[in-house]
């Protein structure tokens, strides 16, 4: 992500960060499990476990969406949903996503953690 402001206006991402704080560690833990899925022992790498992880993923998404909607963040920021480790898009779609995000970053249109006022 580019640290330059470019064409974007300054933003304070504290509202988004605090809204997502309740699910941050859960999402990180779930992402670790998905990233290591093929390394899990065979008795753990089963369809019921996969379905449970999918259910947790869906619940985290719902909590985050409700929190962002409740605090009106979508009225102030464009929020790009993370790529789902549960059902990632095919490579050709990932290339499109990567290109789009890279373009936004080059134009200084992405707000990141470094945009929060107290982190400067």
Measured between alpha carbons, how far is 63 from 44 in angstroms, rounded to an integer? 26
Reading the block at residue 61, the tokens are 């998404």
What is the per-residue pLDDT across 56-107, written as a single tens digit (0 to 9) for each?
999 998 888 887 777 666 555 667 777 887 788 899 999 999 999 999 888 8
**pLDDT the model gives residue 59:** 92
Q: Is the per-residue pLDDT at 7 higher than 70?
A: no
Per-domain residue ranges for the chain? Answer: 14-119
Q: Which pLDDT band holds residue 120 (cuts at 50, 70, 90)? A: very low
The number of beta carbons lying within 10 Å of the beta carbon of residue 117 is 10
Closest CA to 12 of 104, 83, 107, 111: 111
**pLDDT the model gives residue 64:** 84
Residue with the larger pLDDT of the pair 66 and 7: 66
What is the per-residue pLDDT across 10-64, written as a single tens digit (0 to 9) for each?
666 676 777 778 888 898 899 898 888 888 888 888 999 989 999 999 999 888 8
Measured between alpha carbons, how far is 43 from 34 in angstroms, rounded to an integer? 16
CA distances from 90 to 11, 36, 81, 85, 93 (A): 33, 19, 16, 12, 6
Q: Give, to the nearest 10 degrees, the angle between helix 47-70 and helix 14-35.
A: 170
């Amino acid at each position: 992500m580019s640290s330059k402001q470019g064409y974007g206006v300054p933003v304070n991402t504290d509202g988004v960060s605090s809204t997502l704080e309740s699910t941050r560690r859960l999402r990180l833990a779930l992402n670790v499990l998905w990233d290591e899925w093929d390394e899990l022992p065979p008795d753990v790498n089963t369809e019921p476990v996969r379905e449970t992880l999918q259910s947790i993923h869906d619940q985290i998404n719902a909590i985050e969406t409700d929190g962002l909607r409740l605090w009106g963040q979508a009225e102030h920021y464009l929020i790009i949903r993370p790529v789902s480790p549960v059902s990632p898009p095919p490579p050709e779609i990932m290339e499109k996503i990567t290109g789009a995000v890279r373009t936004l970053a080059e134009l200084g249109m992405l707000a990141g953690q470094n945009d929060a006022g107290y982190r400067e």
